[in-house]
Amino acid sequence: MKKFFYFIFTLLSVTNLFAADCSIIVISIDALHPDAINIVKPENIGKVMSAGVYNLNGKSVNPPKTLISHTAMVTGKTPEESGYISNSWEKGKPTVFGETIFHDAKRAGLKTYFIYSKNKLGFLENSAIDKTIYGKDDSILIAEKIVKEETEPYFIFLHISGLDEVGPKYGWLSKEYLEEFQLIDSDLQNILEHFIAMKSSTIIITSDHAGHDKEHGTNHPDDYKLPLIIFSKDIKFDDISSSSYYSFQLRSLINRALKCRQN
Ligand SMILES: [Zn+2]
């Protein structure tokens, strides 16, 4: 009997590898310094890098702060263009106005998910998102469940917290910071393997900003640094490794990945 259920489970997993064509996952690892990738050599993110393309010289917007950078990622506008220059937000306050990556994905026929792990990112909630889920410490597990069960094409924006707490406490690129990054990489294993095995999919791994010593959000060059890693079975992204990249350009990359839906 046990074997039978295992068979059914495997069959379902394999079925959904083929059902959710052109699905996209954006993984924003809060406060990830690109040098941590070179030092840790993360096994799972490393697989995405070998199979895809990357640029470890990406830059945040000005000032390089969590909500300001994520708002730029989601709206495709610099803080100057959007006027969104606040790094704080509380429940009940107005949320983001206008078009976002979720509107783009929704128009392309994808089911949209927003999973975040820092309260202020609730600012980015909007009507183009089918499901918003807040998970302080379990945002990766929440996303993994969706990835395993969803059978329609989908778009997930997954925000992962952790480094943004360890950085200010122990220092960016400290032993504790690198250990935390290693843990995040292990936790991402199932999601990344699933996406790589899908018939047609795009993975984008990036961050909102980095930091130096125990500080971030200043005009220190390290505070602006961020990585950009893309794996896509459908669309070529080779140019990203040699061109400059700013976090507000994420939306245009997602629109490129969405062209998969027109093929
Ligand atoms: Zn941040």
8 Cα–ligand 1 center, Å? 41
Whole-number Å distance between alpha carbons of 105 and 196: 20
CA nearest neighbour of 95 among 57, 121, 68: 121
The answer to whether residues 85 and 129 touch, using CB atoms and an 8 Å cutoff, is no
5 Cα–ligand 1 center, Å? 42
Looking at the structure of the chain, the number of domains it has is 1
210 Cα–ligand 1 center, Å? 8
Q: What is the pLDDT along the chain (263 residues), one digit of tens a residue?
A: 555 555 554 554 555 555 578 999 999 999 999 999 999 999 999 999 999 999 999 999 999 999 999 999 999 999 999 999 999 999 999 999 999 999 999 999 999 999 999 999 999 999 999 999 999 999 999 999 999 999 999 999 999 999 999 999 999 999 999 999 999 999 999 999 999 999 999 999 999 999 999 999 999 999 999 999 999 998 999 999 999 999 999 999 999 999 998 86
Whole-number Å distance between alpha carbons of 10 and 136: 30
Q: What is the pTM of this model?
A: 0.93
Whole-number Å distance between alpha carbons of 62 and 57: 16
Domain that holds residue 212: 2-262
42 Cα–ligand 1 center, Å? 20
The CATH number given to whatever domain includes residue 32 is 3.40.720.10
Residue 130: what pLDDT? 98
Residues, Cβ < 5 Å to ion ligand 1:
30-31, 66, 164, 208
152 Cα–ligand 1 center, Å? 31
Could you give the C-alpha distances from 98 to 27, 80, 103, 151, in angstroms and in order? Answer: 22, 15, 9, 29
Which residues make Cβ contacts (< 8 Å) with residue 5, sequence separation at least 6? none
Residue 14: what pLDDT? 52
Whole-number Å distance between alpha carbons of 194 and 144: 9
Residue 36: what pLDDT? 98
